[in-house]
Structure 1
């Protein structure tokens, strides 16, 4: 693991060379192959200097390298490419430390530091002046809820003498301790009622910022919940009904809010809140199927939502607007990407045989074991997900375009990036179906 960290760290100054985007792509390709060669099923696998991989972190690390590579492709014609490449490498370095650290303090420090390059990305390459407010929302939401966690980590270290995930334990059933430990990850997911930073950050961020936010930043919250759940399972069993209830109602309400959106990026951002609410519900059931369903939904949502934001940016570059009232008749305007947009929307509404469908079946079974009446709410959430995904496709692709000009050609790089979003989705779906 240390060789991966040192390799990424030493690549940061090299990113200021004239062919920085090409070097960074080779860097991510090499790191992806390097991680793929390491098995996570062997005892003491890849453990070195408090870093290692297991079943949960392995796929998230691979997802991080892939999304970072897609970010370079999506912004290769932007200004200050050398600076952007270096920020992208720093962001990937911190994300790798989060997903591979065996020490809670290392994970917390990277959890905080990853905010700095992300805010620079939003403020430096954003679109409108409102990006300043979006950066403040993103910064203060994360910092204010994570500072109490630092005090709690130091208190646990004082009592246990270790901050490794395997050695940390806390016997108290005090709700405030559970709240501090869990709430910071709920904000990052985000959970309903603390989700206001997400639509603002998505709308004002560049396409690369939206891709990394949807693809990886939301997954940090789920990954942190999984790690904490293994350490403090008795606290989870006592207080999980609180987070379960909020997420159950929140996913239903956010599904209704999605149908009122006039901005494509806003709708995709709010749909992420709905799916992350289902992740919380699966984790709070404390069952193996709920845990696996939430984990698979995070992986599927990472590729699907990132691809949808990339396509929304393609429409924005051609029409000059993200509004549904302008982006009409794209089936005539850009017919070459209509099929890919349909597949993305289908995966977003969890149509079989997608990985999203398999994960939602697992989450549903765990919810029924937790509370039988959850079936009623789940039917409503699934129906609303299908409604706003269908609305997203039909309203943008059909109708009369405003200038009746057909622009069929797409950039080869854009098609490549879209197919690289689809291939892992299909690959994971085939693997999971063969295992089941």
Structure 2
């Protein structure tokens, strides 16, 4: 377990050498493939070392973190070409990868909390250091304010658990029964803000819009999943109260997902639309985790991995257009099917994956979550029906509005896609669809 951590740590000295950018980039992909070879289907903790271990749930999220961090370097070659503090950028990504790796593999709730909060620091540096508009300062304050304010009560809760049980290790957790309702409220709220749930989601669109492409990729791809992973881990402690009160979070997330879907129709900024669609998808993940059954856990994991790849790919597409036109407005980004016809194929494939069309891994996750949430309450069928329908509608709105229409008259010259960009999109789309065929093994 520690060998992967040391591999990343030993890459840090190389990151400070400008000429070693592509070596660090290649070695990150190598670590991803080596970690992938340890694939197993055990539900208990494995590869245990000093305070670290992975199980079925965390293995996929660590692998997703490795993959997305590697693709972040691929997508940010303009930072290397312009020498825009590329060495520092490399270091920030490697530090973020260490924090994510430790978060998903830590077997202590206190360690998880520390690394969970520490992952905000490199994300904030990405937004403030390599963001685009001056509003990135406000977006950074939103990000820190929302997540820290919601997480500080969780720290008090952790001290209370340690006082009662005498340990914060996940395998030693027991259900507290009806004890301490405030504990249940604080611990759930901290993770729901991170996901984010409707009503506490305002930090996400602003952070996405102001972040560079690498910041958007890691936010959508991995950081939103920290909240879902935390809920999965602590649900064994709060089962008794969860059975009584989870209906509130489930109802709020389902109705919030429908409201956010309507908000998506009002967006004219490509990044903002993709960011709001992430909130709608995460509402289904919250519903699956709160239903507390196996279908919900498997569906949440599937949708988190599928959404991480799909949403990250859509942000890459919006950045490819932004680098050419200098705008993300859909009033300007029109008729792209004539300007970049081969890129329209990738718009179509990733948009279809975003609406959970086969053969994308999102379909496996959404079908599992449909089973889970409807088995919890048949009345939730109506909300799920609206969520699925509107998900397809705003994705088609985004695709058709950007690919068709009349050319913006200010466009006089245009460059087609580079090999690096097609390579980046293939590495998003290929695992997203290959995982669909392995879903039968994952259900075991």
Task: Give the TM-score taking structure 2 as reference length.
Answer: 0.95
Deviates more, 1:269-278 or 1:343-352: 343-352
Counterpart Cα distance in 1 of 2:416 and 2:230: 43
Assess, with a 3 A threshold, how the Cα gap between structure 1 residues 362 and 344 changes in structure 2: closer, same or farther. same
Counterpart Cα distance in 2 of 1:200 and 1:220: 19
**Is the 2:270–2:328 contact (alpha carbons within 8 Å) kept by the matching residues of 1?**
yes
Deviates more, 1:55-64 or 1:402-411: 402-411
Counterpart Cα distance in 2 of 1:106 and 1:309: 31
Counterpart Cα distance in 2 of 1:101 and 1:188: 18
- Give the secondary structure class of the aligned counterpart of 2:171: coil
* 2:385 maps to 1:379: yes
State the match for 1:432 in structure 2.
Answer: 439
Q: How many residues align?
A: 436
Counterpart Cα distance in 2 of 1:27 and 1:153: 37
- Give the secondary structure class of the aligned counterpart of 2:196: coil
**Is the 1:255–1:388 contact (alpha carbons within 8 Å) kept by the matching residues of 2?**
yes
* 2:53 maps to 1:52: yes
Counterpart Cα distance in 1 of 2:13 and 2:237: 38
Deviation for aligned residue 1:225: 0.8
**Post-superposition CA distance 1:204-249 (Å, at most 9, x none):** 0000000000000101111111111133222221210110011011
State the match for 2:362 in structure 1.
Answer: 356
**Is the 1:332–1:406 contact (alpha carbons within 8 Å) kept by the matching residues of 2?**
no
Counterpart Cα distance in 2 of 1:405 and 1:256: 35
Assess, with a 3 A threshold, how the Cα gap between structure 1 residues 44 and 319 changes in structure 2: closer, same or farther. closer
State the match for 1:105 in structure 2.
Answer: 110
Task: Give the TM-score taking structure 1 as reference length.
Answer: 0.97
Counterpart Cα distance in 2 of 1:324 and 1:130: 20
**Is the 2:61–2:305 contact (alpha carbons within 8 Å) kept by the matching residues of 1?**
yes
Q: Which runs of 5+ in 2 are unaligned?
A: none
* 2:96 maps to 1:95: no
**Is the 1:71–1:211 contact (alpha carbons within 8 Å) kept by the matching residues of 2?**
yes
Q: Which runs of 5+ in 1 are unaligned?
A: none
Deviation for aligned residue 1:18: 2.5
State the match for 1:234 in structure 2.
Answer: 240
- Give the secondary structure class of the aligned counterpart of 2:424: helix
Deviation for aligned residue 1:359: 1.4
State the match for 1:420 in structure 2.
Answer: 427
Counterpart Cα distance in 2 of 1:192 and 1:386: 20
Counterpart Cα distance in 2 of 1:435 and 1:228: 22
State the match for 2:22 in structure 1.
Answer: 22
- Residue among 297, 302, 314 paired with 1:308: 314
Counterpart Cα distance in 2 of 1:401 and 1:73: 29
Counterpart Cα distance in 1 of 2:145 and 2:27: 33
**Is the 1:264–1:324 contact (alpha carbons within 8 Å) kept by the matching residues of 2?**
yes
State the match for 1:150 in structure 2.
Answer: 155
Query: RMSD across aligned C-alpha pairs, in angstroms?
Result: 1.5
Assess, with a 3 A threshold, how the Cα gap between structure 1 residues 262 and 3 changes in structure 2: closer, same or farther. same
Assess, with a 3 A threshold, how the Cα gap between structure 1 residues 44 and 313 changes in structure 2: closer, same or farther. closer
